[in-house]
Amino acid sequence: MNQHLVVALAYDGLCTFEFGCAVEVFALARPELGVAWYDFAVCAVEEGPIRAAGGITIDAPYTLALLERADTIIIPGWRDPDQAPPAPLLAALQAAAQRGARLCSICSGVFVLAVAGLLDGRAATTHWRYARQLRERYPAIEVQADLLYVDGGQIVSAAGSAAGLDMLLHLVRRDHGARIGNLVAQRLVVQPHREGGQAQFVSRPMAPDQDGRLAALMARVRAEPAFPHTLASMARAAAMSTRTLQRQFQAATGMAPVDWLIRERVAIARDLLESPGLPLPRVAQLAGFGSEESLRRHFRNLLHTSPGAYRKRFAAPPP
């Protein structure tokens, strides 16, 4: 094993979907990409039979000793947030963190990192069903419950099950750039990255949009991001009062109309920034921010990085 070693944990009660996402992204050989792909291995957290959801039994070939060599460790959920992880696992994760390994959790797997004390003073996310429990039990963690994943550098956490796939593709983009990340996403037949937060997935009655006015408004805004949209102009376009628009938007998306507009513009700016030849002032104009300063402020508020840093990391190389 001489490439970047990714190790996924296997435990009794294993979350099959989360584990499968890690296998699909990192374990398959991808010679067509033309880059040094990952080595992948699975290690058992404990002795005894490892039974996974769906009646599957897993024979993990490695023990926790493998974590001493892992570059990236993936915790694909945890069997019960109220059940303390084994002490040897916590010690192995602490040692891995100390030597600089990248630690990644999906869904309830964040509780393993929390118990290990590795998230104190850091931002993290988890499934919206567990967010309150995580926040109350570990007040030293900055729980960002609306995000699909939180990239804290060395420690990366994802929300509910499918958000783990978003996070894993993000890691590929981070390691190999936007072109490779996009190619892997194409192989998986998924979007390279999804916009919006968990609020859109929380179980709640959705706003009745029987005449399609809300959907039509969203499509219009996406098609004309540079137009000087305001709450009032969007309400007029949807033939609603501003109060009705805000109420329906909040119920349907979990966001206020103006917050949704800013997120859409940031998403458009991200796509534009992946074209290396487009000047930043032009990106700001096309995305509807009007000025570089406004683009930088909103970009950093939502993505915790600058447009320049994002472009440096994700822009496709010139042909």
316: closest CA among 266, 287, 278? 278
Distance CA 266, CA 286 (A): 11
pTM of the shown model: 0.66
CB atoms within 10 A of CB 188: 16
188: closest CA among 171, 172, 205, 165? 165
Residue pair 281/292 in contact by the 8 Å Cβ criterion = yes
Residue pair 68/95 in contact by the 8 Å Cβ criterion = yes
Question: pLDDT for 11-44, tens place per residue?
Answer: 999 999 999 999 999 999 999 999 999 999 999 9
In this prediction, residue 200 carries a pLDDT of 39
Question: pLDDT for 208-264, tens place per residue?
Answer: 455 678 888 888 888 899 999 999 999 999 999 999 999 888 877 777 899 989 988
| pLDDT above 50 for 205 | no
Distance CA 268, CA 284 (A): 10
Complete domains list, the chain, with CATH: 5-188 (3.40.50.880), 207-319 (1.10.10.60)
